[in-house]
Amino acid sequence: MNISHLKESIIKLINEENTVSEKLQSICNLLKKEINYYNWVGFYFKNGNKLELKLAEFAGEPTEHVIIPFGKGICGQVALSNQNFVVPNVETQDNYISCGFKVKSEIVIPIFVNKINIGQIDIDSHTVNPFTKNDKLLLEFVCEKVAQLL
């Protein structure tokens, strides 16, 4: 993974004359294409005043998890904890929402606007324990740039 190249690509996508939705979709597509163990990439955002997340743009297989209550699954836990959450092996998590038998690991990074958690980027992998410090750094960068769009 070439973080510098990916960061440059993210900045280019964000600076394009597209809607926010188109930019988010382009980011999902780029990350899924460029990082071979990113099998599903998506953004979830707080659903109005409800204590739930709503799926926005994503790249990968469709999911039935379009709405996730706060506290449920990894994404729901991040909505409450405001902390990054890396799951090296989903089989070890009691509060994991299965998105399919192929998913082996997950990383979720929150997005903050004015210090308020308004959403997150969620990555599923079909590989056990693929995520490194570089993934965390890259995804935190992505979330910072996305926050500037919103």
Residue 93, pLDDT score? 80
Range of the domain at 83: 3-149
pTM over 0.85: yes
Please give the tally of structural domains in the chain: 1
Q: Which residue has the tokens 């740039």?
A: 145
* Residue 64 to residue 21: CA distance in whole angstroms: 20
Q: Give pLDDT, residue 90.
A: 85
CATH code, domain with 140? 3.30.450.40
Q: How far apart are CA 14 and CA 1, in angstroms?
A: 20
Q: Which amino acid is at 105?
A: S
* pLDDT at residue 88 in the model: 94
- What pLDDT, on a 0 to 100 scale, did the predictor assign at position 97? 72
The pLDDT value recorded for residue 94 is 75
Q: What angle do CA 63, 85, 6 make, to 5 degrees?
A: 75
Nearest to 149 by CA among 27, 3, 58: 27
Residue 46 one-letter amino acid: K
- Pairwise CA distance, residues 61 & 28, whole Å: 12
* pLDDT tens, per residue, the chain with 150 residues: 789 999 999 999 999 999 999 999 999 999 999 999 999 999 999 999 999 999 999 999 999 999 999 999 999 999 999 999 999 998 888 776 766 678 999 999 999 999 999 999 999 999 999 999 999 999 999 999 999 998
